[in-house]
Chain A
């Protein structure tokens, strides 16, 4: 029996496939339920609340909002983080199309740039504006991105600067360099070392997993399925840790 458990758990691919299958199943079920209108109450996350509020501010004042979707390359492991940055861009762009406030974006990775370009192009089309699309590419060097973003912020003086997506140490660079001027600075990333730096410096920041909740907090409700999946997977994870510790303590492990 112990050797069987051990054998199963050490042939990675079976367990990995099982994990994938279970999470995909959960995801599908919860997403269908969420699309059907099922809702869960969420704990507040400062960044997303402030973003929703900023939209009203921007609509009211006509001031611009600036968002950086980070330097994560799409097509690599940073894709999910970049997607969350782009979700935030999408949120602001849709609102910008409705309320006609200007928005500006900088991208630190060429692939993020291409996607942002498309999103903003559509928003600006909807807003009936001609002219250049409000996205700039700086990079792909992270610090060149930081320098370029700093420069754009200096030039445009937006109401707020949002840095959401994949960031390294340049996240700290951008937020501290722009600290000298006013305007709200929000953002965050998932990688702990960079998230910590941004959390230190920004007015409000998301850390780690909170980044992946951007969709659910900004685009209610179809994204709620993801959060429900995450919460249930979390329960499964905790349960399996406890089970594993018990098994290990009883000596049935390795």
Chain B
């Protein structure tokens, strides 16, 4: 029973959502809408579970008094205050302030760090060890160069070559990758829908 219900739920919900995809019928449509709304609700509850985990981990750290105790306290306070502000007064300027002056700059600067990281990663990738690495190097430097505003004034062929690179090899490679991903997605989804794979069932059988 412990396994039967979850597996049935997965197969039934999956089947319903699939039917909704392929058939146009008001009844299936209505059921599909209910299901997808339900998924949203469940995801919100999962988030709540996740928050409890963050709180537990960091409160334990605060209590145990390690070196990161202060930082953990900051985390917990930030979480609680933001949640309280957002829930009690969703339209107050307070939450906008937090979003605009704390959350946005932090997230944006975390992304900005990637500019450095991509350069240091390129250092390794640009080593010409074989033909493939050489192609990677040439293609990325060319695309970088062709994007510069004055590259067109150096030679009129540069923009057309860039256009060709994007139209032919880049399209081919991305389409090939997408086909591969599509095949992988199909089999993996089928594993779930046919209940061959049951990662959600905690009491799994040994493989």
Contact = CB atoms under 8 A, between A and B. Distances in A.
A83 B197 contact: yes
Contact of A121 (B68, B202, B206): B202
Given A190-B184, A222-B207, A233-B183, A200 B121 contact: yes
Interface string A178-206: 01000000000011100001001100000
A223 B67 CA distance: 45
B108 to A, nearest CB: 9
A125 to B, nearest CB: 10
A110 B177 contact: no
A197 to B, nearest CB: 7
Contacts of A223: 191
Contacts of A83: 188, 191-192, 197, 199
B57 interface: yes
Interface stretch (B25-33, B44-52, B141-149, B159-167): B44-52
A225 B197 CA distance: 12
A136 B121 contact: no
Main DSSP-derived SS at the B contact region: helix
Interface string A219-233: 100110111011001
A209 B49 CA distance: 31
B188 A84 contact: yes
Contacts of A200: 118, 121-122, 124-125
Interface string B78-107: 000000000000000000000000000001
Interface in A114-170: 114-115, 117-119, 121-122, 132, 135-141, 143-144, 146-147, 155, 169
Contact of A86 (B39, B186, B199, B207): B199
A244 to B, nearest CB: 13
Interface in B123-170: 124-125
Nearest to A176: B117
B118 A172 contact: yes
A109 to B, nearest CB: 8
Contact of A176 (B110, B121, B177, B204): B121
27 contacts: A28-B194, A76-B39, A79-B192, A80-B184, A83-B199, A107-B50, A113-B49, A113-B53, A136-B53, A136-B57, A141-B107, A169-B111, A177-B113, A200-B121, A201-B121, A208-B177, A208-B181, A209-B180, A209-B184, A211-B184, A212-B183, A212-B184, A213-B184, A223-B191, A226-B187, A229-B186, A230-B187
Given A83-B199, A146-B110, A172-B121, 4 more contacts: A80-B184, A87-B197, A219-B207, A226-B190
